[in-house]
Amino acid sequence: MKKAVLTLSEQKAELEKVVRAFIGFFLKERDFSKIVYTEWTAKDVLGHVASWHGSFAKNLLDAVHGIKPSPFKGSLTEVNEREVLLMSNYSIAELINKIRISQELISMNIDNPNVQSIAYKKGSRDYSPVEHLEVVRRHVYSHLKDLEKLYTEN
């Protein structure tokens, strides 16, 4: 059975729901120094998502304004390591705020008719708005599920 393709407004609503749940995870009193992935704590995962969400918002705004995008450069491993290190200087509250601001910019601009495609990463193809929403939603959701699993097991 083929999976139903969601419309832009449906994808937008789904991303907003997942981002709210992701932020909600970090609003609870927890020890965010727990290791989630080999070298990443829960706080690092938050920083990783904040970084990529900020990149999505910036690249979307570049498309809205017809500006040449400057997406992340390097392999995914290099980008992730660099960005997690950069984000480690921020508090949990600051990282949550970065995600909220990025999400607001995404929600306000994703359905702009001038946006045909959005840059993702240098060397990667651009994505349509609906594709980008799907990719980002899945990304945030996968990290949320990993976090929830770790914190319910321990």
Q: Which of 15, 104, 90, 6 has its CA nearest to residue 54?
A: 104
Place of tokens 């984000």: 87
- Identify the band that residue 45 occupies on the pLDDT scale cut at 50, 70 and 90: very high
80 in any annotated domain: yes
- Identify the band that residue 153 occupies on the pLDDT scale cut at 50, 70 and 90: confident
Distance CA 98, CA 73 (A): 21
pLDDT of residue 2: 54
4 in any annotated domain: no
pLDDT tens track for 110-135: 999 999 999 988 888 999 999 999 99
Range of the structural domain that residue 124 is part of: 36-153
CATH of the domain at 147: 1.20.120.450
pLDDT of residue 121: 87
5 in any annotated domain: no
- Expressed in angstroms, the distance from the first to the final Cα of the chain is 37
Q: Which of 83, 1, 6 has its CA nearest to residue 46?
A: 83
Q: Which residues contact 153 (CB under 8 A, 6 or more apart)?
A: none
pTM, whole model, 2 decimals?
Answer: 0.92
68 in any annotated domain: yes
pLDDT of residue 3: 61
pLDDT score of 1 more than 80: no
103 in any annotated domain: yes
Look at the chain and report how many structural domains it folds into.
1
12 in any annotated domain: no
99 in any annotated domain: yes
Helix (H) or strand (E) holding 8: helix 8-27
pLDDT tens track for 67-109: 998 888 989 899 999 999 999 999 999 999 999 999 999 999 9
30 in any annotated domain: no
